[in-house]
Every structure is written in structure tokens, then in C-alpha cells.
Structure 1
Amino acid sequence: MGVDPILLVGAGLLGLCVGSFLNVCILRLAKEDKKQRSLFHPPSTCPRCGRRIAWRDNVPVVSWLVLRGRCRWCGQPISMQYPIIEAVVAVLWIAAMLAYGPTVRFLEAGVLGSILLGIALTDARHYLIPDEYNWTGLVIGIGLSLTAGVPGFIEGVLGAASGFALLYSVGLVGGWVFKEEAMGGGDIKMMAMVGAFVGWQGVLLTVFAGALFGSLVYVPLLILGKRKRHVPFGVFLAMGAALAFVFGPAIYDWYRRFLGAA
């Protein structure tokens, strides 16, 4: 049975609002000044002239199109990032509704996908994963796990603990072997957050897939002599987490059948 179109419209509108807020997170949370990191103050302003953006000019996607991508006051261009992020997150929430219907799983998919997108973009630009993404996601993930009762809560807590412990251990061993920081604190806390959504099995799959995706990108760079000192591992962990969330159950089932046939 298909999903009611009204629910799809509602999911899309919710996604647009989340995407608009995510734009604020992406632009502010990477700043060093704590005052500039606030997500609520000051209100949105034009990055060129500093004029406050009125509510009618802050409607996701629509306002950017109506103003043709320019500030109403100074006429200077406004980054395409704003409507693109808003549209991508809206599509994400619509896809989640199509896949899972009006369920808790839908909320988990929308929330986790939005946070992973914010983490990936921030880490790719600044080599930084702000705590606000991780702690907020961890609290929401554990909170949503309660909807499955005590077993769901235990799975969420176990996933968070295993995610933190695994990456922390990798960081310790890597630091001992390479004599330098091998795993950032943001990556470690990120995996605690991811674990709350995907469980301990998902943590293992996330780390494996993230390492695989990272290798596919950086091994060719090493061969070509274009090695980068800093690796935004959060980008690849985000990709791995998305894979674990969407395809994890099918992969676990295939793996169990493979072991049974071996």
C-alpha cells in the first residue's frame, strides 16, 4: 500500500525546515568564537551587507528562487548552498516516509540522515565534527530507542557504548603505532551517536564501510603522491552509517547465511 500524499507533503515540508536549520548549523558550529556558534542569536543576516533577513525572505528554497539568489537589500548573490541543502534534506525526509511510512523508523531515518549530512559537510570543510551534532543525535537516538521498550533501549545504549569504545581503542592503538593522533575526538563521539541508531552490529559495519570508502579515495591519492595530512574521516563514517542504517539488516542476514553455508 502506498503512502498518503498528504504525509509525503508533510515530510517534505518538515525536511525543508530541518534543512534550513541545518544550514545555520553548518555555517555557525565550525566557528571558534562561542558567541558566533549560537544557533539562535543573532538572527539570520545577509553575509554581504549585514542586514537582517525578514521572515518572508527566509522561506526555504522559495525565497531564494523568488529573489533570484540575491539579497533584497544589497543585491549581492547569496550562496546556492542554502536552497541545495534545504532541497536535499526535503528529499531525504520524503524518501524516508516512502520507505518506512509514518513510523518511528521514519523519524530515525530523517534525523540521522540530516545529522550525517551536517557532519559530512562540516568535516569536509573544516576537519571538525562539532559536539552539538554528536550529543544532540545521541540524546535523540537513545530517546527514540525507548519506543521499542527495554530491549530497544538496551540495544541503543549498547550501540552507543560500542561505537565509542571501538573508535577510542582504534585511536589509542593508532597513536601508539604512529606516534601521533590517529583518531579525532569528534569521530569517536560521532560513533557513539551513530551506535544509538544502528546498534552494535551497525557500528561494526559503519566502521568497516567507512574505512573502505576512505581507502577508495585516499589510496589512489597516495599512489599519485597527493597525500593529505588530515583526513576528514567523518565524511566516510557518515557514508558508512547511512549504509548500515538502510541496508544493515539485509547485510547481516546475508552474512549469517554465508557463514551457515560455509
Structure 2
Amino acid sequence: MEKLFFYLAFFVFGTIIGSFLNVLIYRLPRGKSPLKPAFSFCPSCGSPIKWYDNIPLLSYLILRGKCRNCGGKIGFRYFFVELLTGVASVVSYLKTGLSYEYIFVFGFLAIIIAITFIDVDFKIIPDQLNLAGFVLGVIYTFIRDDFTILDGIIGAVVGAGFLWGIAYIYLKTRGIEGLGMGDVKMMAFVGMYLGWFGALFTIFFGSLIGAVVGIAAAYLSRSEDKGRFEIPFGPFLALAAVIYMFFGDTIKGWYFGGMG
């Protein structure tokens, strides 16, 4: 019964953070302040959303995904982000227990979620999110038993440097930009959390997933210019980073054990 209470508490907390992530996902790529106006508003009519219509998950279900004022449709993504962030909060708690580490693991996942949805829509990764993740990662190194600030710095340099090198070579050989600097900065943030091996795993595994999805999407696309078909890279880096966050020890042990 006690475990169920904690699961529920962390889930509810996560949905609240998810509601704020929806604000970031909507406002940051549009150049709007995440703090002003302080209230949420309907994307259709712009009217402020009352507090009782802004309860995570429940309000969306009660209003059936519509604005009370204008009846305009509110995308299912708002509900999904809140649900996903609630789940992320619970799995963070399962990984860390009741400790300070929860803040940093959940913070990592929350930023990853915001990055993913923004990159899907706009093919950009806001500097504010990468910087917040990097700073959080730096602070995290001072309370971790398995990691030092030097490990984090090496991870950031390897992650960002390696991806920048790939982007530079692609630009020189193809004459077009294949990767945005947002992806490079994201790898500095990810490397600060996961170290050099985790950063390399994120890049290679993320590239593998991205290549498979990209080939399939280009093949299924009705676009006539399939050679210029573009998909954002950030979500695949995000997925690979989350996998390493939770299974990194197993992956690293398997790799170096296999090398032996």
C-alpha cells in the first residue's frame, strides 16, 4: 500500500511537470517567454485557461480535448506529454528511490521529452533546454558516487565533438548541412550525464534507429523529392540516451565483456 502511494504521488507530480513542459514545447520554438503570460491560454482563441480547466490529464478528459470558451480542439499531444512525464517520474523514482538523485534523473527525462517534441515539430532544439540540461548534469556530478566532474566534461567533449566532426565532414563532402548545431549542443548535455561511452552509444545507436526510420519513412513518403526527405535527429538521440540512462551498466558490461 505504501509503494502504491509513492507511485501515485510521483505520477501526479510528473503530470504537473508535464503540464509545464507543454508550455515550453509551445512557447520556446515560437520565441515566447515560458513565464509571461503566467497563465495558460487556448491555442485557438487565446483566452486564459482557468485553473480548474488546467488540471493535468483530468481537465482534458472532462472537456474532451476542447476549449471551454471557444470549443476549439486541443491536441491530444497535451494529454500525452502529461501522461508520458508522469510515467517518466515513476520510472525515475524506481531507479533512484527517495533520494536527491531523483531530481537529476527525472530532470534529464523531462528535458529530453521537451526536446523531442519541439524537434519533431520545428526541427530545432532550443539552447535554453540544452543549457539547462548541461548545468543540471554538472551539478549532478557532485553528488554521484559513480561519476566525477572530469567524467562529465570528457563525456560532453566527446559527445559534442564527435557529432560536430560528423556534421563538418558531411557539410564539406555533400555541400549541405546534415546536422544542426542543436544536436551537437544536445550531445554536450547528454555526455555530461552519461560520460564518453554513453555519449558514443547515444550517437551510434541513435543513428542506427534514425537510419532505419528514415529509410522507411522516405520509402513510404509520397514526396516526389525523396532525396531531400528530412527527419529530425534529436528524437533518436533522445531515445538512445534514455535507453543508456536506465540500462547503461548492462550495455557497458556486455560491450567490454564481449571485447574480452
For normalisation by structure 2, the TM-score amounts to 0.90
Matches within 5 A, 1:29-108: 29-31=28-30, 34=31, 37-42=32-37, 43-108=39-104
Structure 1 residue 75: deviation in Å? 2.7
1:118 is matched with 114
Question: Contact 2:29 / 2:126 at 8 angstroms: preserved in 1?
Answer: yes
Distance in 2 (alpha carbons) for counterparts of 1:230 and 1:186: 16
> Is 1:8 matched with 2:3?
no
Per-residue displacement from partner, 1:208-229 (whole Å, max 9, x unpaired)?
A: 1011001111234556684444
> Is 1:145 matched with 2:141?
yes
Structure 1 residue 157: deviation in Å? 2.0
Distance in 1 (alpha carbons) for counterparts of 2:249 and 2:228: 35
66-75 or 177-186: bigger deviation: 66-75
Distance in 1 (alpha carbons) for counterparts of 2:118 and 2:88: 18
Structure-2 change in CA distance of 1:108 and 1:228 (3 Å): farther
> Alignment partner of 2:148: what SS?
helix
> Alignment partner of 1:148: what SS?
coil
Amino acid paired to 1:40? L
Structure-2 change in CA distance of 1:113 and 1:150 (3 Å): closer
Structure 1 residue 126: deviation in Å? 1.1
1:256 is matched with 256
For normalisation by structure 1, the TM-score amounts to 0.89
Give % identity: 34
Question: Contact 2:115 / 2:125 at 8 angstroms: preserved in 1?
Answer: yes
Distance in 2 (alpha carbons) for counterparts of 1:79 and 1:216: 28
Per-residue displacement from partner, 1:93-138 (whole Å, max 9, x unpaired)?
A: 1122123312344333322222112212111111111111111111
Structure 1 residue 164: deviation in Å? 1.5
Question: Contact 2:218 / 2:229 at 8 angstroms: preserved in 1?
Answer: no
> Is 1:242 matched with 2:242?
yes
RMSD over aligned Cα, in angstroms? 2.1
Amino acid paired to 2:4? P
Per-residue displacement from partner, 1:67-96 (whole Å, max 9, x unpaired)?
A: 232222223332222222101110111122
> Alignment partner of 2:241: what SS?
helix
Structure-2 change in CA distance of 1:221 and 1:89 (3 Å): closer
| Structure 2 stretches lacking a partner, 5+ long | none
Amino acid paired to 1:19? G
Of the three residues 151, 155, 159, the one matched with 1:159 is 155
Structure-2 change in CA distance of 1:51 and 1:11 (3 Å): same
Question: Contact 2:15 / 2:56 at 8 angstroms: preserved in 1?
Answer: yes
Distance in 1 (alpha carbons) for counterparts of 2:229 and 2:64: 40
Structure-2 change in CA distance of 1:55 and 1:222 (3 Å): closer
Distance in 2 (alpha carbons) for counterparts of 1:101 and 1:3: 13
Question: Contact 1:211 / 1:236 at 8 angstroms: preserved in 2?
Answer: yes
Of the three residues 97, 105, 121, the one matched with 1:109 is 105
Structure 1 residue 3: deviation in Å? 7.4
